[in-house]
Chain A
């Protein structure tokens, strides 16, 4: 049932994309009344763009997990993500971040990785697409609210640095941040901020195992900047059973980095 919906959604996305993407800001909104009935209609532009972004991030994440990713494919997917992010910046969609306080950071971080974790886990089980449909369904309830906020706020592409650095420092003591990593942070924050009303729902489903997976995942993301060769220092991230092993490996790596930095 879920798969069918997901397939249906992809076909709808195809119909949307064939027209190219001249942004028609709120034209999809009228189509969506309620949830399931509205879902049968063509999703709004923002939703399908969001869905594409999610798909691309998952692909990138899987790329990073391979020891030798196909460079051309990774570059093309990364460029697509960047393009979506730029457009969202121009859109003013990034405004959600400004309105969130720093105190909610830890909660939001968990939410974002929950979505990513669920995505990657279900990818392994071959049920990727239903995740998009559940996620976008959550978004629909807040769609009108988001749109009105976009109208009223001033566009500012910069993510507030304090929020970003708080997020980053908590997870990762290493200093190597690139522009692309910052962009990815922005994207993560967009994911979590899209549905402020459902934060509690998502949070309730998170259990302790996700905390460990979270640190390892972000560790993996940062380590790809050190070059492809370094990936083999991480154990392959396919099962959540080895969480404690991963965590200790990560701590070991931090320890080594500290020694190197001190020397």
Chain B
């Protein structure tokens, strides 16, 4: 899908009505492969929306400023910045190409005028700084207006450069490149509440990074079996707790979520909590495991609940109750009768994301 849409809440009454607020991108049938959007993420305030595509580009949209005379119920977003985050690489050792497709983008909490985000492809995570420039210095002593160096002998007087306003320019610059820590494909990144560390997860391992240190990371979870033939479960998503900087969760392809506490040991292979809903024996089929595979896990803003997405449903879990979710929502139950066809055409392996709204409703 090469478009992006914002949702809008409906009018009165208890039911929400969902509709597209805005559609960005090409609507016609033939879309270039590189334009296909692979990840979407709002920043903390909701003013910025970042999208990553298969061509390794990041496009950031900014919400239009509200003015007092015309408050709007839905924000309108316009392009703010576009930059090439990742390029295709070639791994010479394994003789394979590393895709430039952006798998995940995560914003850092804003601490000054600039915005920071982490973007990752299958192997490399990059920290980008997005800053605005709306002033330009004029009246340099050593340079002409067009940038040519002046002959020092010609300079007869000194002047102080003046800052003049210019058209707004948004610049993106790579600040850190964190590479070579993952054997398998990175599927998640999550910034910690301490604003200093973050985790990255691939199919079998989770690594902990410090934002300032690019050449080292700590391995905190490793589920790779000694014998790869015994592999029956992979990591599908991971996230830090929004308030407790020592707690994180990771979900698996078997429909389980493990909560780990980094204070208990350096390698968090043993979980503190284990969340799994017992299987309903009446609906068991050969596809039960595949559709139970969790594709995304997100903590609520309060930190008390977490939401998981599997193939057909969304579940809300209370962190204090491990044996079943508190709420379950069937998203497309009508697909349950078509699982065999979906298995055949591989659509059963599609991954979906989920997300809380600002007030955890």
Q: Is B63 positioned at the interface, with any CB of A under 8 Å from its CB? A: no
Q: Which residue of A lies closest to B231 (CB)?
A: A75
Interface stretch (choices B34-42, B78-86, B335-343): B335-343
Task: Check A179/B229 contact, CB under 8 A, given A17-B339, A18-B336.
Answer: yes
Q: Give the shortest distance, in Å, between B334 (CB) and chain A (any CB).
A: 11
Across the interface, B284 reaches (CB within 8 A) one of A21, A49, A225, A228, namely A21
Asked if A217 is at the interface of the complex by the 8 Å CB criterion, the answer is: no
Question: Is B157's beta carbon under 8 Å from chain A?
Answer: no
Is A33 interfacial (CB-CB < 8 Å)? no
Does B30 make an interface contact (CB < 8 A)?
A: no
Q: B2-10, B261-269, B287-295, B297-305: which lies at the A interface?
A: B287-295
- Which residues of A have CB within 8 Å of B339? 14, 17-18
CA distance A232 to B203 in the complex (A): 21
B177 contacts A by Cβ under 8 Å: no
Please report the C-alpha to C-alpha distance between residue A229 and residue B183 in the assembled complex, in whole angstroms: 11
Identify the closest chain B residue to A87 (Cβ): B286
Q: Which among B95, B204, B253, B338 is the interface contact of A76 at CB below 8 angstroms?
A: B253
Q: Which residues between 201 and 230 of chain A lie within 8 Å of chain B, taking CB atoms?
A: 225, 227-229
Q: How far is the CB of A133 from chain B (nearest CB, A)?
A: 13
**Residues of chain A lying within 8 A (CB to CB) of residue B227:** 178
Point out residues on A near B: beta carbons under 8 Å: 10-11, 13-18, 20-21, 49, 52, 55, 59, 67-68, 70-73, 75-76, 78-80, 82-84, 129, 178-181, 225, 227-229, 232
User: Which partner residue on chain A sits nearest B95 by CB separation?
Assistant: A232
B120 contacts A by Cβ under 8 Å: no
Chain A residue with the shortest CB-CB distance to B185:
A71
Q: Are B232 and A79 in contact (CB under 8 A)?
A: yes
For B337, list chain A residues within 8 Å (CB): 14-15, 18
Q: A71-B185, A181-B229, A232-B95 are in contact. Are A20 and B344 (CB under 8 A)?
A: no
Chain B, 229-261, CB within 8 A of any chain A CB: 229-234, 236, 253
- What is the minimal beta-carbon distance from A221 to any residue of chain B, in angstroms? 12
Q: B253 is contacted by which of A13, A15, A75 (Cβ under 8 Å)?
A: A75
Q: Closest CB-CB distance, B253 to chain A, in whole Å? A: 6
B254 shortest CB reach to chain A, Å: 8
A20 lies within 8 A of B253 (CB): no
16 more contacts with CB within 8 A, not counting A181-B229, A228-B94, A232-B96, are A17-B339, A20-B285, A21-B285, A21-B286, A55-B343, A70-B349, A71-B184, A71-B185, A71-B204, A72-B234, A73-B346, A73-B349, A76-B253, A78-B232, A80-B286, A179-B229
Residues of B within 8 A of A228 (CB): 94
Contact with A along B135-171 (1 / 0, CB 8 A): 0000000000000000000000000000000000000
Q: Is B228 an interface residue (CB 8 A)?
A: yes
B229 engages A225 (CB within 8 Å)? yes
Residues B107-145 near A (CB distance < 8 A): none
Q: Which of B184, B233, B234, B287 contacts A17, CB < 8 Å?
A: B287
Residues of B within 8 A of A70 (CB): 185, 349
Q: How far is the CB of A28 from chain B (nearest CB, A)?
A: 16
Task: State how many angstroms separate the Cβ of B221 from the closest Cβ of chain A.
Answer: 16
A78 CA to B231 CA, complexed, in Å: 9
| Pairs of residues from A and B, 9 with the lowest C-beta to C-beta distance, nearest first | A178-B229, A18-B337, A13-B340, A180-B229, A71-B203, A14-B340, A232-B95, A72-B234, A73-B349
Chain A residues near B289 (CB, 8 Å)?
76, 79-80, 83
**CB <8 Å contact, A84 and B293:** no
CB <8 Å contact, B341 and A10: yes
Determine how close the nearest CB of chain B comes to the CB of A7; give it in whole angstroms: 9
Tell me the minimal C-beta distance from B88 to chain A in angstroms.
Answer: 13
Would B94 and A20 count as touching, CB distance under 8 A? no
Q: Is B73 an interface residue (CB 8 A)?
A: no
A72-B234, A75-B234 known; A10-B344 Cβ under 8 A: yes
- Tell me the smallest distance from the CB of A181 to a CB of chain B, in Å: 7
Q: How far is the CA of A224 from the CA of B233 in the complex (A)?
A: 18
